[in-house]
Amino acid sequence: DEIRIWVRYKEGFSDAVRKNVAWSSLWS
């Protein structure tokens, strides 16, 4: 069965330091 459908669990949830947004990244 080469069709792999699964969740690789992560122990923690990390949310990073906030950073400002550049105009070009809105469109990329």
Residues of span 4-23 touching another protein by CB under 8 A: 4-10, 12-16, 18-23
The amino acid occupying position 9 is: Y
The angle at the Cα of 15, spanning 10 to 19, to the nearest 5 degrees, equals: 145
The amino acid occupying position 28 is: S
**In the complex, least distance from residue 18 CB atom to another protein, rounded to whole angstroms:** 4
**In the complex, least distance from residue 26 CB atom to another protein, rounded to whole angstroms:** 5
Size of the site for another protein (CB under 8 A): 25
Q: 23: helix, coil or strand?
A: helix
Please give the residue ranges that form the binding site for another protein (CB under 8 A): 2-10, 12-16, 18-28
